[in-house]
Structure 1
Amino acid sequence: MMWLINPEEQSAYSWGFNNALTDEGWKSLNDYIAANPTSKAEILNPQVDDKAFKEKEVRDTDITWISSENEISKPLYFNIGKLAEEANNVFFNYNLSMVETLQYSVYNAPTGHYDWHIDAMHKGQHGLTRKISFSIGLNDPSEYEGGELIIGAPGMYETSHKLEKNQIVFFNSIVTHKVTPVTKGVRKSLVGWIKGPNFV
């Protein structure tokens, strides 16, 4: 069973609910990350042929990419696929094709953050683009300070999400968003993207 989050937590930009991962999904995730250590996240620079680089002023996160080809991760991907279908049927109504490689993210105090960014452009490679982004809280928010997921137009209309453990928030991949600095403790999340044919 998945309980809907309170209506006031919905917005023009996002939609979500609690109890996102099933027991099988949790076990799949925990088994995978136990066997695959994190590394420093990189960001792509579209001005330099999408060259990857580490820039802590923009992003300071440790990550693990979760392969969909691994037997351990298959229950997790099945779980995420069902969640994506639910979100799309209720809120987005997009033409979707696939779940992109999932990312386990760790934000350590005092500098863990990810500044304003978008996850996709209108047109992606091979005729597919990211359409829906999502984030799942993996630990209790009492374990850290800061680390809010902010979605919206910077300085104009922003919604703040302090994710509860196992709460998921979906939003359009072309909407700007950020994770504020974690000033105490450790924030853990699972993030991902649902791709579909280019919008235009």
Structure 2
Amino acid sequence: MGHTKHGVGHVETQFQSITDDFGPFTFASGQTVDSLTIAYETYGTLNADRSNAILLFHALSGSQHAAGVNPDVPNIEGRWTPDCHQGWWDDFIGPGRALDTDRFCVICANYVGGCYGSTGPASINPATGLPWASDFPHISVNDVVRSQARLLDALGIAKLHAVIGPSTGGLACLNFATTMPERTGLVI
């Protein structure tokens, strides 16, 4: 990922299993899934003690692509349209911007159940070999928060500098801060 004077430049979505090292994920509905992958992007660099991370929760219909240009996300069968290529919060993320990538590492992840790379209804159910479709577990805001906490665990981040998010992302921020206050610095 290269920075430009206009923002963060070209970025690529990364993928992280949140079950390989942590075991199956149980949703608030009681349903358990053995394998979950979260799609995410990062902007900026984690410092040595990993204390400069900001977790950005997106709006309900958003994606992990908050800044820069990302022309392709693998394996999402045509859902990554040209409208998705420019980050949805590009004006706010980058060197010298509100979420200053010279100081902070901003992480934005697609929600579990989302359609932009995280495991969800369009993913293959390993038990049937078919898409999960309506068999995918019902998802709560707390499920989103707990799945992203597992992503942070996989990235070795114990405590965030801040959580931030617009719309539904703001609700997720409040849920994160109230259920995991020991992992939360600022709530924006």
Q: TM-score, normalised by structure 2?
A: 0.29
Q: Tell me which protein shows more strand as a share of its residues.
A: 1
Q: TM-score, normalised by structure 1?
A: 0.28
